[in-house]
Amino acid sequence: MTISYTDADALTLEADVLAYAIGDDLAGLDAVSAAAGADLAAYAKAHGFTGAAGSHLALPAMGSIAASTLLLVGVGKGTASDRASAAGTAGRQARTVGAGSLVLALGDASLGREACERALAGNYTFDQFKPEKDRKPALDQLTFVGDAPASADRIAVRADWQSKARDLVNLPAADLYPATLADWVHKHLGTLDGVTVEVWGPEKLHEEGCVGIIAVGQGSAKTPRLIRASYRPEGATTHVALVGKGVTFDAGGLSLKGTPYMQTMRCDMGGSATVLAAFGAAVELGLPIALDVWVGAAENMLGADAFKLGDILTYKNGVTVEIHNTDAEGRLVLADCLIRACEVEGVDYLVDAATLTGACVVAVGGDFTGLFTDDDDFAAALSAAEQQSGERVWRLPLHAPYKKLLKADWAQIKNVGGRDAGATTAALFLQHFVDGPAWAHLDIAGSSFHDTASTTYAAGATGEPVRLLTYWMESL
Ligand code: BES
Ligand code: MN
Ligand code: ZN
């Protein structure tokens, strides 16, 4: 895969697909019509294409321009964010036709970094189980019409780790379960220079009192793991800990999910994929920060040994948790990881990512990650990273008075708060296990996995917010 930058006239560039930005009311189309010697406006109108942001229209160029296919991508009013999104659309359309080469002519020479990353994200698809004849090749040549961005070599690193995260999430639970997730970490992170990996199996988890990971995992024949990777570059002054929910399948446990809600629950290790990939990207970029990543990996099933309603878990930090719903399992697994992450000396920032609540999906949908933190500076830093990655976050209230909704009858807290503010009570639950570092919780239940394809993402894992976390760590 090569990425290049050019200031040549886009209409003279040979490629399988030329993506060409068109604004509202077909702004910019005249130049293409002139070069192609055809009235494209009439064709566009006939096909309902007006240049609206998010829309696109493909035309066979038939020799009228150097590229084989002309892909008009709508950029609306032409904001930088609309133009960057259009690059995602271009990448995705290129994949659906199996284009090997794509030229991005977005009408803004300065967008090379975001455009290329978004195009690569759009180009991703998960087709390893499709029949050969239905598979379309990925791009091998991406050309941006405009300036070469600073540190252009980082683009492919971010994009590759994002794709790795998506592969992990898309894999069926039959292939990806706690033991094989640990294998993945050994293979993809353990082999990086300066990285150490440690995996705790059932015996060690018992010894160490990882009660949440054990409880959630005990109803499955696939035994749970706690996975940790560490990176300690010389001269690091900042220390980041990342924690990810690694529920490789969430059947709900005894509080069994209905079939439609269970269908895509292989996605429930999306938090772990996110933080593992962000860790990999940070190491490969050589960021001068100390890093720990912690993943609680378990399968939430309902075998004979499954944990039960009314069970009480006593965590290592003394907090006791009464189980009121075995389907609120992510927080139980994360709690063990948060406790351990905070025990490490000198951690400045702690971020967890988890497909934690349906309530977050109800609140912000699939285009946003829910962000919870008490730290305004931390929130601002993550929002700045959002500007770079285009992976949107929306801050939701970490409203302390709602802690009362978690009060339990026979233990300190229960594992669910009720219907109201479900994403917030889940975040407040997690807060009981954080002690020391500045902390942010990312609820990625909506953003990390989309049931249906959009203009910019194939159906399934999106890899959000891998690049956002990477940009944030780059900013430290
Ligand atoms: N893994 C789910 C949350 C989820 C829902 C992720 C939709 C992705 C898409 C989580 O473990 C869960 O089941 N949460 C429950 C919590 C409830 C029992 C308090 C939920 O959201 O319904
Ligand atoms: Mn659940
Ligand atoms: Zn879950």
The rounded Å distance from CA 119 to ligand 3 centre is 30
pLDDT of the residue at 108: 98
pLDDT of the residue at 180: 99
Is 257 annotated in the active site? Answer: yes
The rounded Å distance from CA 369 to ligand 2 centre is 18
Question: Whose Cα sits closest to atom 8 in ligand 1?
Answer: 445
pLDDT of the residue at 383: 96
Domains (ranges, CATH) in the chain?
2-146 (3.40.220.10), 158-475 (3.40.630.10)
Is 232 annotated in the active site? Answer: no
User: Which of 228, 266, 331, 467 is labelled catalytic?
Assistant: 331
**CA 46 from centroid of its chain's CA atoms:** 37
The rounded Å distance from CA 409 to ligand 2 centre is 22
Instruction: Among 216, 272, 321, 357, name the best residue to mutate to test ligand 1's pocket (greatest count of ligand atoms within 8 A of Cβ).
Output: 357
The rounded Å distance from CA 254 to ligand 2 centre is 10
Instruction: Among 248, 265, 269, 327, name the best residue to mutate to test ligand 1's pocket (greatest count of ligand atoms within 8 A of Cβ).
Output: 327
pLDDT of the residue at 232: 98
Q: Which atom of ligand 1 is nearest to the CA of 415?
A: 19
Which ligand does the CA of 370 lie closest to? 1
The rounded Å distance from CA 80 to ligand 2 centre is 38
Question: Whose Cα sits closest to atom 16 in ligand 1?
Answer: 328
* Per-residue tens of pLDDT for the chain, all 476 residues: 999 999 999 999 999 999 999 999 999 999 999 999 999 999 999 999 999 999 999 999 999 999 999 999 999 999 999 999 999 999 999 999 999 999 999 999 999 999 999 999 999 999 999 999 999 999 999 999 999 999 999 999 999 999 999 999 999 999 999 999 999 999 999 999 999 999 999 999 999 999 999 999 999 999 999 999 999 999 999 999 999 999 999 999 999 999 999 999 999 999 999 999 999 999 999 999 999 999 999 999 999 999 999 999 999 999 999 999 999 999 999 999 999 999 999 999 999 999 999 999 999 999 999 999 999 999 999 999 999 999 999 999 999 999 999 999 999 999 999 999 999 999 999 999 999 999 999 999 999 999 999 999 999 999 999 999 999 999 99
The binding-site residues of ligand 1, defined as CB within 6 angstroms of any ligand atom, are: 250, 268, 325, 327-330, 355-359, 361, 416, 422, 445
Which ligand does the CA of 251 lie closest to? 2
Instruction: Among 261, 266, 356, 405, name the best residue to mutate to test ligand 1's pocket (greatest count of ligand atoms within 8 A of Cβ).
Output: 356
- Report the predicted TM-score, pTM, of the whole model to 2 decimal places: 0.98
Question: Whose Cα sits closest to atom 14 in ligand 1?
Answer: 357
Q: Are 391 and 467 in contact (CB under 8 A)?
A: yes
Q: Which atom of ligand 1 is nearest to the CA of 329?
A: 11
The rounded Å distance from CA 178 to ligand 1 centre is 19
